[in-house]
Chain A
Amino acid sequence: MEDPRPSAAVDDPAQRRDLILIQRAREGDLGAFNDLVELYQDQLFALVARMVPDRDQASDAVQEAFFSAYRNLAGFRGGSVRSWLNRICVNAAMDAQRARRRRPVQPYPELEDESWQPPAGEEADPERQVMTAERERALTDALARITDDQRAAIVLFDVQGYDYAEIADMTGVSLGTVKSRIHRGRLALRVLLEDRMELFRG
């Protein structure tokens, strides 16, 4: 069994810091756990919000994931804290997607949410700015329309930058299935965006 305590073998300072925080959280230090939450909540919310199109459900899923992480502190087996939290969040997102299928809500509420769009740089060309916003809107819309599994694989691969093996580990499927989901998901996106590809060909 891997020792979750920080050791000399952990060279990555971020990883060493995470392990120290985990160890303190396991000893009952809530502040240490909340430090971890602060470090990762933006990234984890971005991940889950891409997988679960409804913003409120995405927020609930992330909150539930942190609850689950706190409950399972004793079960942390060492390794990367980030990967551990990501795995919990992916599972929470998948649970949220299953719940969404059982109780459908408005499909793409984020499209009406202006906060969804990033602030553009001051030097940005207004025409380019509009074009970028339109492309992101179209892509977000298309992403919300492919299957949950394909969306999860594409988000983890293209947006989060995980490799096939990590995605397979997080989603509990084989490497071949991950690859197939990514390929077919991209082909599906291309079909959905066929009429708007000029936005992407730039």
Chain B
Amino acid sequence: MPSNAHVNPDHDDELVARLAVGDLVAGSRDDLRARAQVADCPACAELLADLRAIAVATAELPAPRRTRDFRLTEADAARLRPAGWRGLVARFGSPSFGFTRPLAAGLATLGIAGLLFATIPLGLPGAASLAPERVLSTVGNSVGSQDSSGAYAATAPAVPSPAASAAAAPVAAPQASADVRAPTGVVTPAPTAPAAGESAGSGVAVEGGGTKATGPTSAPAPTAGSGTGEAPTDTGSRESTAAGGPSALVVVSIVLLVAGIGLGALRIAARRLG
């Protein structure tokens, strides 16, 4: 596009355009420069007059007349109105459901906070160092060589009870050896002593394919109760149920997080549908 030709190329057309529209603050440096430019340069003066004339003519342009009636028919309205599940979802986007946004954010925040609170302690060095001890004390020598796989370590921390370990080892070892040959998915209860608290009835349970040497262990770790009926060592079970605090917290946190995210997603979907 050609430019507005000027006798003086140093003159700023846009400055004149700003003056024409009234954007320059009276007395400012730009205002003084523009006025001087217009006063000294006939081309700039003509440009200013032309720009103002164009603005006036633009404002006076007649309104184009429409050739169509834009009112909506009942059919249009029915088509545009969200129906069925879309209508339900769309309600979440209405101002009356404005509270759902802070609610969703709050739920998600609580969920994340709960998960952090529940999981961070397990990541502490102290918690991690307990795992091998537990495996040694419960599984025994038959699988001792596979302990370093981490499968057991991930399952549960051990109860740091020398007495329990000593008592459990002779009982647990044969049982564990037998379980190595158990088919996949077989859960073999061990003859455990009644355990204190909620670990009662827990035994040597092995789930997973193959042997412990190669297969993953997803079940609670093998446990053997001592003859005295004390010192239950199924710490996997302990983690999930006996120590019900963290477990319940994790579940509640996940529920809150999912609810928060779900509510937020529902609101976004509602706005899009609306």
Contacts and interface: CB of A to CB of B under 8 A. Distances in A.
A63 B95 CA distance: 25
A37 B140 CA distance: 82
Given A46-B64, A187-B13, A187-B51, A30 B69 contact: no
A45 B77 contact: no
A71 B51 contact: no
B61 A183 contact: no
Nearest to A42: B66
B90 to A, nearest CB: 7
B-side interface size class: 35 or more
Contacts of B68: 59, 62-63
A158 interface: yes
B93 interface: yes
A74 B274 contact: yes
Interface stretch (A7-15, A94-102, A114-122, A165-173): A114-122
Given A42-B63, A186-B21, A187-B4, A158 B58 contact: yes
A115 B70 contact: no
5 contacts: A42-B65, A55-B67, A116-B64, A139-B58, A190-B54
Interface of A: 1, 4, 30, 33-34, 37-38, 41-43, 45-46, 49-50, 55, 58-59, 62-63, 66-67, 70-72, 74-77, 110, 115-118, 135-136, 139-140, 143, 154, 158-159, 161, 179, 182-184, 186-193, 197, 200-202
Interface of B: 1-4, 13-14, 17-18, 20-21, 23, 47, 49-51, 53-55, 57-59, 61-72, 74, 76-77, 80, 82, 90-91, 93-95, 98, 271, 274
